[in-house]
Each structure stands twice: as structure tokens, then as C-alpha cells.
């Protein structure tokens, strides 16, 4: 029996066995999870890992 929950990111149903649990403890699609990780990691020309003084 498949249990489905609502993805916390896109608000669409996702099978619990296919879902990922994010850092908030919410079930999300694996794809949505990956996108949320990318969104929370800004990697761009404005990002400076080492402060050069
Ligand atoms: Zn989703």
C-alpha cells in the first residue's frame, strides 16, 4: 500500500517511499529537494569565500 504525502515545496502529492525529508523534517520530492539545496547555496560572481584585504 502506497502512502502519499504532500511535498512541502511544490504542494503536490509525493509517494512517501520516494520522498526525501528535508532539514525541516518535511517530505519533499527528491527533485524539489535538490532544487531547494541549489537555491540556498548562492554560487555566483558576487560570492567571495576568501576575504582579500
Ligand atoms: Zn515537490
Task: DSSP for the chain, please give it.
Answer: ---EEE-TTT--EEETTT-EE-TTS-EE-HHHHHHHHHHHS--STT--SS---
* Distance from Cα 12 to the centre of ligand 1, integer Å: 6
Q: Does the predicted model carry a pTM greater than 0.85?
A: no
Confidence (pLDDT) at 35: 92
Confidence (pLDDT) at 4: 95
Task: Report residue 22 as a C-alpha cell.
Answer: 528535508
How far, in whole angstroms, is CA 22 from its chain's centroid? Answer: 6
Residues with CB under 5 A from ligand 1 (ion): 7, 9-10, 29, 32
Confidence (pLDDT) at 44: 66
Question: Where are the domains positioned within the chain?
Answer: 4-40
Confidence (pLDDT) at 41: 72
Query: What gap in Å lies between CA 21 and CA 6, rounded to an integer?
Result: 12
* Distance from Cα 20 to the centre of ligand 1, integer Å: 10
Mean pLDDT by 10 residues, the chain (53 residues): 94 96 94 90 69 71
Amino acid at each position: 500500500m502506497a502512502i502519499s504525502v504532500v511535498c512541502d515545496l511544490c504542494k503536490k502529492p509525493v509517494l512517501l517511499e520516494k520522498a526525501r525529508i528535508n532539514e525541516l523534517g518535511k517530505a519533499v520530492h527528491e527533485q524539489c529537494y535538490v532544487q531547494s539545496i541549489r537555491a540556498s547555496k548562492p554560487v555566483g560572481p558576487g560570492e567571495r569565500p576568501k576575504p582579500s584585504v
